[in-house]
Structure 1
Amino acid sequence: MLYPMMMNLKGKSAAVIGGGGIAERKAAGLLEAGAAVTIISPRVTAGLGKLISEEECIWKEKCFENDDAAGFFIIIAATDNPMVNREVKQAASDNQLVLMIDDPYLSDFQVPAMVRRGKLTLTVSTDGASPKLAKKIKKQLSQTYDERYENYLEFLQQSRRFILENVRDPAWKNRLLEQMISEEFLHETDRKAAFQKLYESYLKESKQCD
């Protein structure tokens, strides 16, 4: 069984072995997470070529050799040749994390199906049993947790910070934080005004209790 986690890759070195469509998607995801990406492949897609020309990542225009694995924190073997992908895994040391796109069971980690809504990240994994099922569930989640959640999470972050800084009573803190995640606030068109009204009711009640 795999251990689920969210990893901070900012500034971490990552190698993507391969230059096809899957390699392009994996490289884009690593770059989005802030990793320093190196592509190792004799050829690359137009999309990868654009990233390389814009100096978003480094390109080693060559076939993979064992020495190429040295020094990277994460390695993704994304070629269309299973033998090469296995060579990548064998060349890596024990303290490197390797993902083989064609063999999840020999990989050190897996990248789950993912839905992002700003600060909200929802992931689905079947531990390699059925990627199609993971894709199906991802679609369902994307419909349930739609684009509204992007602004909603920003609102929740700001409101939580304000409550923690300005509300001393633990019971009221919990009450206000619970109210923030209600359906009422999710659908509210003017959340700031609704929150201000709620906070004013807290001030009024807290004064009455003094």
Structure 2
Amino acid sequence: MRRLTALSRGFGDGIGGSGEPLLTCEFPKVLNRPSMEILAPIARTIRQRKIVSIDYASHGSGFSTREIAPFALVNDGLRWHVRAYDRKRPDFLDFVITRISRSRLAETGQVLPHELPAADIQWNRIVELDLVPHPNQEHPGIIENDYGMTGGLLHLKLRAAVAGYVLRQWIVDCSSGHSLQGKEYRLWLRNHLALYGVSSAQFAPGYEFPEV
């Protein structure tokens, strides 16, 4: 991956080195660009383990001001999120950075023990996922080569908090009976039960939460 990056974007930092790409390479347009004015206070509070106050727009609750304890940035392939404890809910959530209109250091001091990353169950839980060529595809051998599978299997270990994002980005059919149709579904999650209790599974294509 480093070699591909160097070839497509150039070597060095532009000082005494080549900053030009060695090969022609087309990148998809980036549609989601977080503002550095918004991101800077969040980054500082992550390093200092403090609380940041944000003005946030949510599909569910509209516009609101929240105090959060951020501890990590997450890129789901489409958007940048900040993983944080939300004092309004209260729970650990992902906040889309471009939905934050203002961020500033809060006056409420340090992060409390139950707001630390160690208390985030979804972040610390590791799920093991087995991806195989989708049974509806005619040439599974090609898919095995595309994804570097061993014995027809690609085994992933992911944080539960981000697993659903990865499965969505890779367009993985997560239905129990590989029922999703379409040539875009080249992969099937063979052990879909591994997503039980995973909050981000709501983003996994075709996954249905079991009835309680």
Q: If the length of structure 2 is used for normalisation, what is the TM-score?
A: 0.23
Which has the bigger relative contact order, CA under 8 A and spacing at least 6?
Answer: 2
The structure with the largest alpha-carbon Rg is 1
Instruction: Looking at secondary structure, tell me which structure has more helix per residue.
Output: 1
- Flag the structure with higher strand content: 2
